[in-house]
Structure 1
Amino acid sequence: MTPNFSIKHSRYKVHRVESIVAMGVYGRDNPQWLEHSITSIRSQSYSDFLYVIVIDGPIPDRLLAVIMKHASLDERLVIVEGKENCGLATCMNFAIDWSLSLQPAYFFRMDADDISEPDRFATQIAYLEKHAHVSILGTGLTEINEHDKKVGSRVMPLTNRQITRLLPRRCAVNHPTVCIRYKVFNDGHRYDDSLRFVEDYLLWIELASHGYIFCNLKDKLLKFRRVGDFYKRRGFVKSFNEFRARFRALRKLKRMSLYNLFYATSVLILRLMPASIVKLAYKLDRHYLEKFIKH
């Protein structure tokens, strides 16, 4: 485990736990949204988990106050502090490696600006207990704005066949909704930090290439924060890393074709265009995704 991280706060008393919930917190996160996010996890109908909050580098006192308030009220919270910003992949890998000795069965993702529905964990675990062959389980989500108002929704392809067919062209699992069996990590797999901003996509590509089974529930079990600058230009580094990730998917999943190459290049160009064009492309992509799921 990297020496960048240290345990800032922990009061848990268990030697084994069924699930780990992992979330990264960053300096620019919104304190009010963080409050709602943590509260939604502490209020889950399912309770057999430890909630590992990884502070990725220095954060303002207001954010730290929110975290420590909840940590003082709930012994399930484990607070990890990083000396410097390392990125999501490194934070999640630390949470995974640190928790292995507790022999958990499930790993839940959560982001600091989203809200989990009260029965999210219970619903996902109930499904995984009935479907032992599924290793990665995502869900649908409701999109909300800065004021917690619904502005859209997103349901991903449901079956492993649909998900893996779509992976060479796009990330087909909503990362903040995911639950992963710890067997995946016991087998040696981890988040890949070689490309920033696409850590989840790289993990899905790696797992799909090794034959792990994916599934998405159509239930919208998370409220995903879609703020006003959602459609702004993503910047060359982030856009190019997405392109590189798609190219890796084409190779690893043996789906190299002129159409898939054209799609990856087109998305790269679109990412760098003005927000109005990106917004239109997003709507068209949503329409395509809905048709793909139906067929």
Structure 2
Amino acid sequence: MINQFSILHDKNKKQHVESIVAMAVYQADNAKWLREAIDSITKQTYTNFLFVIVIDGPVPQAISGVLNDAVKRDDRIILTQNSHNIGLASCMNAVIDFSMQFKPTFFVRMDADDISEEHRLLRQITYLKRHSNISVLGSALTEINESGFKVGARVMPASHKQIVRILPRRCSLNHPTVVIRYNVFNDGHRYNGDLLNTQDYFFWITLASKGYIFRNLKDRLLKFRRVNNFYKRRGLSKSLNEFKARVYAITKLKQFSPYNFFYACGVLSLRLMPGKIVKLAYKLDRHLLERFGKH
């Protein structure tokens, strides 16, 4: 089935903007959380951006209502629609291709159930302007529950060397926090549209193998929504794709070691265990990762 990508709302008059913020919206999204996510972008202290929202297939009236209200309040929002659900990776690729006409410098990721801190874009884009060698910039995040209360944190390794060294064992960037230079896309790179999950993990591995430079800020610039079934919803498909990504990283980055192979197999086995065990392992992983990120 060929996707029909159409523009539903576009009042933008600018021919050039510095940044594009990209979000995909789905039928299962929570309307209240979506409104909070959109507001967190439109109220940023940094303002030189267009906010491209892709409706990925049919959505309920509650979602449509939130989106229609948002475009009335802010002309920087461009609302687009897919004829059917094509997945996050393909949505992001569509935004990348569509937004090339504005000759942007930075591509900002945002999810429909998260909340960006009001200075997030200013902090990240200012940093990238001062460090022209960095192509992909992530940050730490705060984990919140359904009610918006803090339940954890995720602090990733900061330096490029640490980020790449750990890639064979885990995805070392928080995808919803990432800002990417458009030179990556101008060079021809895109997300793998055939993947319905772990698309970011594979993307970072490919970019790392090509020599692009990464960095994570220690600032917690995003509130990430962690719902009650978080530990149970990975599923076999995602677990297998994560295993494939680890093997891909070992191969592409030439980090062959018994430990990396053992880790990949061990995590796959763990993912298939009951939710309570996965939950305990997740908490231990957060603790170890935060300690690792301090060095």
Q: TM-score, normalised by structure 2?
A: 0.98
For residues 250-265 of structure 1, the aligned pairs below 5 Å read 250-265=250-265
Whether 1:218 and 2:218 are equivalent positions in the alignment is yes
2:100 is matched with: 100
Name 1:48's counterpart in structure 2.
Answer: 48
Residue 57 (structure 2) aligns with: 57
Q: Please report how far the alpha carbon of residue 3 of structure 1 lies from its aligned counterpart in structure 2 after TM superposition.
A: 4.4
Q: Is the 8 A contact 1:234 1:272 kept in 2?
A: no
Structure 2 match to 1:127: 127
Is structure 2 residue 22 aligned with structure 1 residue 22? yes
Shift of 1:258: 1.6
Kept after mapping to 2: 8 A contact 1:233/1:273: no
Structure 1 runs, 4 residues or longer, greater than 4 Å off? none
> How far apart, in 1, do the equivalents of 2:264 and 2:233 lie?
17
Moved more, 178-187 or 231-240: 231-240
- Measured after TM superposition, the shift of residue 172 of structure 1 is 0.3
> How much has 1:230 moved relative to structure 2?
1.0
d(CA) in 1 for partners of 2:96, 2:149 = 33
C-alpha distance in structure 2 between counterparts of 1:116 and 1:166, whole Å: 26
- For the 8 Å contact 1:233–1:274, the answer to whether it is kept is no
Distance (whole Å) between structure 2 residues aligned to residue 230 and residue 3 of structure 1: 30
Structure 2 CA distance, aligned partners of 1:290 and 1:32? 31
- Percent sequence identity over matched residues? 59
2 CA distance for matches of 1:192 and 1:150?
33
Q: Is the 8 A contact 1:141 1:223 kept in 2?
A: yes
Q: Does the Cα contact within 8 Å between 2:3 and 2:84 map onto a contact in 1?
A: no
1 CA distance for matches of 2:96 and 2:270?
35
- Provide the rounded CA distance (Å) in 2 between the counterparts of 1:3 and 1:267: 35
Query: Does residue 221 of structure 2 align to residue 208 of structure 1?
Result: no
* Structure 2 residue identity aligned to 1:61: Q
Structure 2 unaligned spans of 5+: none
* TM-score normalized by the length of structure 1: 0.98
Supply the distance in 1 between the matched residues of 2:18 and 2:147 (Cα, whole angstroms): 34
**Alignment correspondent of 1:114:** 114
Q: Which secondary structure does the structure 2 equivalent of 1:75 belong to?
A: coil
1:87 alignment counterpart? 87
For residue 294 of structure 1, what is the amino acid of its counterpart? K
C-alpha RMSD of the superposition: 1.0
* 8 A contact 1:137–1:214 mirrored in 2: yes
CA distance in 2, matches of 1:147, 1:19: 31
Q: Output aligned runs, 1:1-295, within 5 Å.
A: 3-295=3-295
User: For residues 119 and 101 of structure 1, what CA distance do their matches in structure 2 show?
Assistant: 27
In the alignment, the residues of structure 2 paired with residue 39 and residue 19 of structure 1 have an alpha-carbon distance, to the nearest angstrom, of 17
Distance 1:3 1:25 in 2: 16
Distance 1:178 1:208, change over 3 A: same
CA contact (8 A) 1:208 1:253 kept: yes
Whether contact under 8 Å (1:12, 1:75) holds in the other structure is yes
- Partner amino acid for 1:36? E
